[in-house]
A and B are shown apart, each in its own frame.
Chain A
Amino acid sequence: MATAFPTEIGAPAPVRIGPSHGTLNFRLREVWAYRELLYFFVWRDIKVRYKQTAIGLAWAVLQPFLTMLVFSLFFGKLAKLPTNGLPYPLFYYCALLPWGYFATSLQNATNVMVEQQRLITKIYFPRVVLPISAVLSGLVDFAAAFGVLIGLMAYYRIVPGRAALLLPGFLLLAVVTALGFGLWLSALNAIYRDVRYVVPFLIQFWMFASPVAYSTVLVPQRWRWIYGLNPMAGVIEGFRWALTGQGLAPGPLIGASAVAVVLVLLGGLFYFRRTEGRIADVV
């Protein structure tokens, strides 16, 4: 693909188009140049998602809320899984909030290239803008569901400590996790169409591999860092800890998560860039 982005009037250097050779150049500056288009994609996704639904944004809230009720009943009251002293609803909701964001963003990122097939085959823009927009538009749902969390915390009279200042960091970790895996799935699905059917199963399985329905204290200390290679483990424990002060303080688990997610992100960017050239032909 081009090795420089479009020049403006009078500039002498041309844009050069040629077959790409799997360059390691991520061309992030180009993505920055297209940030307005990214904004428009996110804006469009949000507007369209809620234009005609009667419940609108409330749906983004209902899902984690209802799941929380079910979990509280079955894993909490009936199975009596340990929650480090937190009331069940709060314990689950703190996890379901970032988890819901991750699951939705992952599915959206997987589908986005195929859904926007018409755009991709007619207009040029850095294709990576699409999975990024899928991952960012989930943040609006997140914000709505977050409002309910505030309500829950008020109800249970849990006041967040100074740890809450780290919450944006964990949110960032969640976004980067969604983006890292989203890039892989998005490129894979554009080429191999059956990938999108695997994702719901993947997410189901992943949820049980993450401390959503249970606390990490169930995992023996020695294995925690391997467990932490699942970036969502770090995200969820981090959320719980930042919001309620209970649970695992940042340590080897979250460290492992952060490292894992950076590797996934770099790998995802690389794979995406490498297959980008093919995508318009096969999507």
Chain B
Amino acid sequence: MISLWSRFWFTPSSPVDLGVGRLFFFAGVFATYATEDFSAWGGVSDAFWLPLPLFTLLHLKPLAPDVLAVLQVVWRAALLLSAVGLFTRASMVVASLLGVYLLGLPHNFGQTYHFDAVLVIAMCILACSQAADACSIDVLLRDHPAPRRSGEYAWPIRAIWVAVSLVFFAAGLAKLRYGGLAWITSGNMSILLTRALYHVSDADPLTSAGLWIAAHHWLASAVAAAAVTTEVSFPAALISRRARMVLVPAAIAMLVAIRLLMGPTFGGFLIVNVFWVPWCALVVRAETWGIVRRRAATKPAAVDSQSAPAPQSSHSSFDSHHSITH
């Protein structure tokens, strides 16, 4: 059990997956919140103030709008620096600390949304990681040799996987716990899809196709069953590559469908999915594909000159991705 645990969290891995994930993640968060104005929360009446346990624990209060405006500029700068990998460790720490405060602040006014919680968790995990060891300006600037494969580059990705899995699993479990099988078999999904048109969410649905689905009871039940199945079985993606290939796209499709048919915005969840992608393997596969293509293109010439050596470029390219993978 202990070795299974260690193998899951700390399998020596290349820093590339974590580095590329960091780049896309922070860039995605920056893009998502580039125009978000948190400063207005500083001006909301105390009558709305209903603090989260975390804010109570840390005695955090809404700061003045001007101060919040400065903080959000600093936060965005930290996000950008974290993405490009300059002063990465410090940037990620600042981004995560300010992220906890700024993203958490709106949830202290009577309603807690969940679309950004996993972003905060991911930022905190990355701040504790060595995600700057690949795909960063810091790496280009320093003279150190390329870092070797280490468990240090595996656990942050696994931790983010677990965080995402817990979100889906908890949501699925809550449906079965509070609604039971009736959540699927009754007309509940039809009601939810119809009700979404009555401005009950943070955003209205992008289409009214939900009404069409709601009109077909069996289809609504099938959608509900698919949603619950995806959510409850999502932890399987942690341990099975095949399950990952099915469940991660299914979960992404579900979030997109929720936005289209019901309204709630789960953009944050979509950003975190960059950590499911095996970037290193993709690079290798792309290069291999390129080599095969080039060899196929040069094959007739090689047949003509029987003893012609393989193209030098192919060898060097293959060597280069060997150095990435091993």
Bound pair (A, B): no
Using CB atoms and an 8 Å cutoff, list the residues of chain A in contact with chain B: none
Using CB atoms and an 8 Å cutoff, list the residues of chain B in contact with chain A: none
